Structure 1
Amino acid sequence: MSGKRSIFEEVGETTPRREAPQGGMIDKGRGRARSAIRLWLMVLFALVALMIAVGGLTRLTDSGLSITEWKPLTGALPPLTTADWEAEFALYQAIPEFQVQNSWMQLEDFKAIYWWEWGHRQLGRVIGLVWAVGFLAFLALRKIPAGWTGRLVFIGALGGVQGAVGWWMVSSGLTGTMTDVASYRLATHLGLAFVILGFIAWYIFLLGREERELMQARRGKEAKLFGLATGWLHFAFLQILIGALVAGIDAGRSYTDWPLMGGQVLPPSIWLADLGWRNFFENPGLVQFIHRITGYLLLAFGIMVWMRGRRSANSATGAAFTAAFVALCGQVVLGIATVLYGAPWQVAIVHQVLAVLLWVLILRARFLSLYPLPQSIRRA
């Protein structure tokens, strides 16, 4: 019995104690990695947003067809000699855009549009390089948190697809009678850019908080508000695609009065019999009309979502919906100004950049309705 303790025996200081479990073990050792990956994604986000702006300027300056070949690697070097420039210019002179629309151009004029397209493609290469270097570095250092490898690969894969879609778009304007790229291909290219931007933004939001915080926050999600925000996001995406169709055929300059179109509720050329179903892509009057109507409907839906979102019990969530709604109102006003001034590039590019801001703000509101911030709960 000497090896047994009495039930009345006190436990001495030498008795080993069991450590209490520590919270947040899912994030142990990964906090710094999450911050580093988040910073890397922020750089990618800024580059993609810049890419959208440069792409818009490339379209507005009619520069997108100035480079007629797709050379993902060797194309990184611009023409360096006079002979190189003349060779590039000769390739451009062989396509319909030059022959029908820009036959007046001299070599110096060509250089101006060439640099826009080269810069656009070069920025795409930079984005790919930043993604590859960052991803491989985090992978080699084993710093990627569990469940994130696939997400980061997905972003890179979308970037690769975007490059192929970009060439698919450009190739549509190099043969036949086309003097611009096909508008539906332009819409696909721009739409995919917004998808990439959206995923990067969502991942940045997720990495801004620890996993345990996200799991706790999700218990307080506002399911109905999240559904409304999701619908708002999809509605805005549809309007972005239609806006690309407008830009693709310069439909923004076809009718410059508002709220009427050509002095009428319906534009005079709303349907051209010879185009058939292609009216929805190639008829400037119909495409601009659809863009206007979709904008009105998006505003009406946005008002409804905002009225619901501003009453959220979470003050940060309510503020996020208000910010998105303010951006939407600004975008509507800017869209009207773009029409009234005949879509000058200075106004049109701001309209496109504001679309990026609106897209991200709606995403932010959607995120906070799913993962509300605990410290912002309003007191009764």
Structure 2
Amino acid sequence: MASIDTSSSYAFASREDRLRPVRIWLYVMAALVLLMVVVGGATRLTESGLSITSWRPISGTLPPLSQADWEAEFEAYKQIPQYTVLNHWMTLDDFKYIFWWEWAHRFLGRVLGFAFAIPFVIFLVQKRFSRDLAAPLTGLFLLGGFQGVLGWWMVSSGLTELTSVSQYRLAAHLTAASLLLIALIWVARRLEPHAGTMVQPGRPRWLTLGLLVLLILQIAMGAFVAGLDAGMGYNTWPLMDGALIPGGLGAMEPLWRNVFENALTVQFIHRMMAYFIVAYLIFMLWRQARAGGLDGVHGWLPRISLLVIAQVGLGIATLLAAVPISLALGHQVLAFMLAGMTVAYIADMMPGRQKA
């Protein structure tokens, strides 16, 4: 990352004034992504994601406005396996409940697109940032658009044969959302005035990068848990199916399928990864305490550790209560917050700041 010339304090202050609205905008975008995660999680938990069976980026902005429109939407839903196999009991009023969740999720995605594009153009015209910064911001916009494409790709998997979306596509969609949040926070933190000023030269960052990778993998694994409804079974802790290591983890052939398709194995891996992340953080805390303490930029580390403990507790509570919507949503959002805090820690450790 290139650093800004700070030889002129006046010029430096002027740049700070220009970049402050950009930073606020990026943090707002990150908050909107979190809101998308909440609404998307609720859509998944209420099994509403297949209620809209077509992708109309423009005309789909408006919900049904007449009785005939509602009947047409309901009739389209009646053609897919989720209705014929599971929900054939539904009335139009029942359908409206699941429709509004999916419509809200898609509408929020459109809002997010406009909330990015309009300020971006305004800031570019105002020359609040250079073309060097415009390039990664354009990349963020494209990543957001790709997230929408992934969302439809996920939905389309449940329209012909399955009664729900593919867990593989759900994992891709949720992981892409986590990467979008991480990228937004990374760019915003690199524009902070203090970026790189609290770094001790030569301090290795590979452990923190490893933690971020673990958190992203855990988010992906959580998506497989959700996609298979794996949290609905084996609702005991610390034992699982009466044992610390349950039988049947390799019941499917070939063996790799168990990692992604065996609900028992998927939940077991999700548990084990949580334990490993806790142990990993304990090691990071011990190492940093010995190396130079937890002050300055490393104050992020105890905060992240506390959030991880809260996340583990929330995950256990969600499991024991058989996945109530409120706890499950909190568990999912906290995972994204953890990833965001970790990338903020990494960004603050990097020397220099993003060129304005």
TM-score normalised to structure 1 length: 0.86
Aligned counterparts of 1:344 and 1:114: Cα–Cα separation in 2: 20
Q: CA deviation at 1:35?
A: 0.5
Aligned counterparts of 1:151 and 1:142: Cα–Cα separation in 2: 15
Aligned counterparts of 1:109 and 1:48: Cα–Cα separation in 2: 28
State yes or no: 1:223 paired with 2:207: no
State yes or no: 1:60 paired with 2:45: yes
Q: CA deviation at 1:348?
A: 0.7
Question: Structure 1 pair 25/314, CA: closer, same or farther in 2 (3 Å)?
Answer: farther
State yes or no: 1:118 paired with 2:103: yes
Q: CA deviation at 1:216?
A: 5.3
Question: Structure 1 pair 80/222, CA: closer, same or farther in 2 (3 Å)?
Answer: farther
State yes or no: 1:82 paired with 2:62: no
Contact 2:294 2:301 (C-alpha < 8 Å) held by counterparts: no
State yes or no: 1:31 paired with 2:11: no
Match of 1:184 in 2: 168
Q: CA deviation at 1:315?
A: 1.2
Q: Which of 330, 336, 340 matches 2:316?
A: 336
Q: CA deviation at 1:25?
A: 7.2
Q: CA deviation at 1:334?
A: 1.1
Percent same amino acid among aligned pairs?
A: 42
Deviations 1:6-30 (A, max 9, x none): xxxxxxxxxxxxxxx9535774642
Match of 2:141 in 1: 156
Aligned counterparts of 2:196 and 2:282: Cα–Cα separation in 1: 30
Match of 1:284 in 2: 263
Match of 2:348 in 1: 368
Aligned counterparts of 1:129 and 1:82: Cα–Cα separation in 2: 30
Whichever of the two has the greater Rg, that structure is: 1
Name the amino acid aligned to 1:280: V
Deviations 1:27-53 (A, max 9, x none): 464222200111111221111110011
Question: Structure 1 pair 124/303, CA: closer, same or farther in 2 (3 Å)?
Answer: same
Match of 2:88 in 1: 103
Aligned counterparts of 1:86 and 1:221: Cα–Cα separation in 2: 65
Task: Tell me whether 24-33 or 360-369 shows the greater mean CA deviation.
Answer: 24-33
Which SS does the other structure have where 2:172 is aligned? Answer: helix
State yes or no: 1:42 paired with 2:27: yes
Contact 1:316 1:368 (C-alpha < 8 Å) held by counterparts: no
Deviations 1:263-303 (A, max 9, x none): 12333432334675432222111110111111111111111
Name the amino acid aligned to 1:46: A
State yes or no: 1:195 paired with 2:179: yes
Task: Tell me whether 312-321 or 198-207 shows the greater mean CA deviation.
Answer: 312-321
State yes or no: 1:130 paired with 2:115: yes
Aligned counterparts of 1:303 and 1:170: Cα–Cα separation in 2: 40
Deviations 1:94-131 (A, max 9, x none): 10111111111110000001000000000000000011
Q: Using CA pairs under 8 Å that are at least 6 residues apart, name the structure with larger relative contact order, 1 or 2.
A: 2
Task: Tell me whether 163-172 or 28-37 shows the greater mean CA deviation.
Answer: 28-37
Question: Structure 1 pair 25/246, CA: closer, same or farther in 2 (3 Å)?
Answer: same
Aligned counterparts of 1:54 and 1:314: Cα–Cα separation in 2: 36
Aligned counterparts of 2:126 and 2:268: Cα–Cα separation in 1: 53
Deviations 1:59-101 (A, max 9, x none): 1111111110001111000000010001000111110111111
Aligned counterparts of 2:254 and 2:87: Cα–Cα separation in 1: 26
Match of 2:3 in 1: none
Match of 1:267 in 2: 246
Match of 1:354 in 2: 334
Aligned counterparts of 2:253 and 2:300: Cα–Cα separation in 1: 47
Show structure 2 runs of 5+ residues with no match. Answer: 1-5
Q: CA deviation at 1:341?
A: 1.2
Match of 1:207 in 2: 191
Contact 2:170 2:223 (C-alpha < 8 Å) held by counterparts: yes
Aligned counterparts of 1:310 and 1:357: Cα–Cα separation in 2: 24
Deviations 1:202-240 (A, max 9, x none): 11212221xxx546555x34532x211111110111111
Question: Structure 1 pair 157/235, CA: closer, same or farther in 2 (3 Å)?
Answer: same
Question: Structure 1 pair 267/52, CA: closer, same or farther in 2 (3 Å)?
Answer: same
Contact 1:310 1:319 (C-alpha < 8 Å) held by counterparts: no
Question: Structure 1 pair 22/269, CA: closer, same or farther in 2 (3 Å)?
Answer: closer
Aligned counterparts of 1:195 and 1:56: Cα–Cα separation in 2: 17
Aligned counterparts of 1:258 and 1:284: Cα–Cα separation in 2: 16
Aligned counterparts of 1:216 and 1:253: Cα–Cα separation in 2: 47
Aligned counterparts of 2:284 and 2:7: Cα–Cα separation in 1: 41
Question: Structure 1 pair 190/338, CA: closer, same or farther in 2 (3 Å)?
Answer: same
Q: How many residues align?
A: 347
Question: Structure 1 pair 208/214, CA: closer, same or farther in 2 (3 Å)?
Answer: closer
Indicate the RMSD between aligned Cα atoms, in angstroms: 2.1
Question: Structure 1 pair 132/336, CA: closer, same or farther in 2 (3 Å)?
Answer: same
Contact 1:249 1:284 (C-alpha < 8 Å) held by counterparts: yes
Task: Tell me whether 27-36 or 78-87 shows the greater mean CA deviation.
Answer: 27-36
